[in-house]
Amino acid sequence: MQDQLEALRVGLLDEIQRAKTIKELESVEIKYLGRKGEFTAMLRQLGSLSPEERKTVGARANDIKKEAESLLNKQRSVFAHKAASSIGDAEWMDVSEPGVRPPEGHVHMVTQAIREITGIFDRIGFVRERHPEIDWDWYAFESLNMPKDHPARDEWETFFVEAPETKHGRMVLIPHTSNSQVREMLLGELPIRMINIAKCYRRQIDVTHVPMFHQFEGLYIDKDVSITHLRGVLDYFAKSYFGPNRVTRLRPHHFRFTEPSFEIDVSCGVCGGTGVALNAMKEDVKCRTCKRGWLELGGAGMVHPTVLKNGGVDPKKYSGFAFGWGIERTASMKSGTRLDDIRILYKNDLRFLQQF
């Protein structure tokens, strides 16, 4: 029995030393020391020996097992060190070398314009407020002195929502942000210096219109407000946003909710106010954006007394002005933008969007 045990020891230690990989080492361990291994099977025969022999052979078997386990652990350490060394060689990197920056997005050009416009008016005390983009007919039209048969409703081809009609009329997707005027007045907090920026909807699409666009509405109501205040605010905004070299003008117009009323124009940023631009062949052609050197931004005027009354404001004590125009069109006219088709803003063309 002792001779068999010594022969088993020699074979076990030899195979441990000849193992080339951790997997081969595990196979040797299972072959000899596993539950069905050769060494384990030999130990089961100890019961057939006399008590004296069992004591001697058992002690020797324990010594052999400890020797084998020690050698196994040593070989495991050798393989683990080799594996760690190979990983270091294979996955080495120079941590001092600049990394590759992952691609980063940025806010859309329209969002940039909204933030900049908000900041410009914030500096002169106009607070940005939020009012519904889906509203009732009364707030969008009738409270603004526009009766049901007013032609502007046909001109804009307003989108009506299929919803039960109420005392405020039918539900609409707002065609302009002017619905915020009476809503702001009804809050009863005077004076008012408000900017409302929201999505608007009209059935129009061409180089200067899209069916969904953003508009900002300015409203200033206080005692003794005049047209000179309006002109001062508009000039301040034009120089702050478009640049000191751009020119604005007011043209008399007619809006139901302001009296007197004006259209606000700014010199075209694509053609420089000349009405002439270069085509792909470097030939002078009529500017497709403005046609005549000016681009209409929107409307403005002194708030109509009827609108003030509908908002619960006494027109004998208070006066005010309002203005509103599209964010997209305003952004397209900023110096350096040279955007001659507003529809490209929503085509998700990264070649265009990444420029801003």
For 73-92, the pLDDT digits (tens) are: 888 888 888 777 766 666 66
Query: Do 190 and 62 sit in the same domain of this protein?
Result: no
Query: Do 239 and 117 sit in the same domain of this protein?
Result: yes
pLDDT digit of tens for each residue in the chain (356 aa)? 677 777 778 887 888 888 888 888 888 888 877 777 777 777 777 667 777 777 777 777 778 778 888 888 888 888 888 777 766 666 666 778 787 888 888 888 899 999 999 999 999 999 999 999 999 999 999 999 988 777 766 666 788 888 899 999 999 999 999 999 999 999 999 999 999 999 999 888 887 788 899 999 999 999 999 999 999 999 899 889 988 877 788 899 988 899 999 998 888 777 777 888 765 455 677 887 777 888 887 899 999 999 999 999 999 999 999 999 889 888 877 766 667 788 888 888 888 888 87
**Can you give the pLDDT at residue 141?**
92
Query: Do 187 and 334 sit in the same domain of this protein?
Result: yes
Asked, for residue 171, whether it belongs to a domain, the answer is: yes
Q: What percent of the chain is modeled with pLDDT above 70?
A: 91
Asked, for residue 131, whether it belongs to a domain, the answer is: yes
**Can you give the pLDDT at residue 19?**
84
Strands 127-129 and 192-201: parallel
Query: Do 113 and 22 sit in the same domain of this protein?
Result: no
Query: Do 191 and 334 sit in the same domain of this protein?
Result: yes
- Cα 225 to Cα 14, 64, 103, 128, distances in angstroms: 104, 105, 50, 20
Query: Do 282 and 212 sit in the same domain of this protein?
Result: yes
Asked, for residue 64, whether it belongs to a domain, the answer is: yes
**Can you give the pLDDT at residue 71?**
84
Asked, for residue 176, whether it belongs to a domain, the answer is: yes
Query: Do 24 and 144 sit in the same domain of this protein?
Result: no
- Can you give the residue range of the structural domain that contains 32? 2-86
Question: Structural domain tally of the chain?
Answer: 2
Tokens of 293: 């050197």
Query: Do 72 and 133 sit in the same domain of this protein?
Result: no
Query: Do 141 and 67 sit in the same domain of this protein?
Result: no
Q: What one-character-per-residue DSSP string does 11-66 give?
A: HHHHHHHH--SHHHHHHHHHHHHSTTSHHHHHHGGGGGS-HHHHHHHHHHHHHHHH
Tokens of 220: 């200033």
Tokens of 16: 């441990």
Cα Rg, the chain, nearest whole Å: 42
Contact 2, 18 (CB under 8 A): no
Rounded to a whole number of angstroms, the distance between the first and last alpha carbons of the chain is 88
**Can you give the pLDDT at residue 230?**
93
Give the SS3 label for residue 1: coil
Query: Do 16 and 52 sit in the same domain of this protein?
Result: yes
Asked, for residue 343, whether it belongs to a domain, the answer is: yes
Query: Do 115 and 75 sit in the same domain of this protein?
Result: no
Asked, for residue 103, whether it belongs to a domain, the answer is: no
**Can you give the pLDDT at residue 140?**
92
Query: What's the CATH number where 247 sits?
Result: 3.30.930.10
pTM of the prediction? 0.65
Distance, in Å, from the CA atom of 56 to the CA atom of 44, rounded to the nearest integer, reads: 15
Asked, for residue 100, whether it belongs to a domain, the answer is: no
- Domain end residue (candidates: 86, 117, 136): 86
